[in-house]
Amino acid sequence: MINDQEVAQLAKEIRIVYDTLLIMPMDKSILRRASESFPTNLRTLVAIHLSSALAVQGFEKLDAFLTHDEQLATAAQSAGFEVIGTG
């Protein structure tokens, strides 16, 4: 069980993380890109994740691509992203 001070601190930390996120709706252009070929073989959800990152990269520089999925990491590296979280 956590106390009220810990709850308040966690809520503050969650707000900080949430404020740094970019919520981007999945649209037809992302799904279209996900259906196209990539340099590596991708599962469907991995292709959608990578296509979403590529869409964001079109208007906002991404410092790093975070993933623990090896297939996604390889695909992101092949697309030019610096990948953190695998290895």
pLDDT digits (tens, 9 = 90+) for 14-57: 999 999 887 889 999 999 999 999 989 999 999 999 999 999 99
Residue with tokens 């252009």: 29
Number of folded domains in the chain? 1
- Mean pLDDT calculated for residue range 59-80: 91
| Residue 42 in domain | yes
Q: Which residue range forms the structural domain that includes residue 34?
A: 26-84
The angle, 0 to 180 degrees and rounded to 10, between the axes of the packed helices 44-57 and 70-78 is: 40
pTM: 0.74
| Residue 52 in domain | yes
CA distance 29 to 51: 9
pLDDT over 80 at 71, yes or no:
yes
67 in Cβ contact with 47 (< 8 Å): no
CA distance 32 to 34: 5
In this structure, the number of other CB atoms found within 10 A of the CB of residue 65 comes to 21
